[in-house]
Amino acid sequence: MELHRRFDYAALNADVDEKTIVKLCQEALKFDFFAVCVNPAWVQTAHRLIQGSNTRIVSTAGFPLGANRSDIKAAEAARAVKDGASEIDMVANIGWIKSGEFKKAENEIAEVRKSIPFNIILKVIIEASLLNTSQQIEATKAVIFGGAQFVKTGTGFSGDATIEQVTTLQSAAKGKVEVKASGGIRTLKQCREFLLAGASRLGSSSCVQIIEELKRAN
């Protein structure tokens, strides 16, 4: 798969406005990115701009802290799908993971999974930068048992993704879920390293700059 089809092009900061969403979608269409990733309030806008294209819409649940009630996350995910999202990136309850309450985390993931149609991809953000290696491994198992399709390194708000994180998650996943790297991905070199380490999707707000760097390199 070519690099541009690995990208979830993100605009998730608090100050994102409609002009930013329009630009995000226009650039995603221009470069044929796999998806745009937007907060729930912007899903309908993004859907209107990119419907009928090859680009998907990713929205969030429990973002960015993961500390919402499970039923709220499930409702948020279901509404985002109704508004036009075809993938959900939910934030796991990081406090439960840090406390060793992996079954609780698994049950929450399962609740969100059940709230959305079977053909909607669910990715679970575990904020690997806040976890030790053992917690990362157990969190990945919770993602698998909860029925999600991806484990994702982080939101980008609590630290950057690392090769070590991706390697750990890929090893723990054992091919049962895929790995998405996100947080601080700004260069072509990083993209190549993360993909080589086992990530199959990359989340970044710097996708256009990376593709331009690739064109210069070629």
Specify whether 89 is catalytic: yes
Select which of 8, 73, 89, 123 is catalytic: 89
Active site residue 82: no
Beta strand extents in the chain (DSSP E only): 7-11, 35-38, 56-61, 87-91, 121-125, 150-152, 178-182, 201-204
Catalytic residue among 73, 123, 141, 180: 180
Distance of CA 164 to the CA centre of its chain: 18
Q: Is 180 a catalytic residue?
A: yes
Instruction: Say which residue the tokens 């650039």 belong to.
Output: 27
On the 0-12 / 13-18 / 19+ scale of CB atoms within 10 A, 70 is: buried
Q: Which of 73, 123, 141, 152 is catalytic?
A: 152
Residues annotated as part of the active site: 89, 152, 180
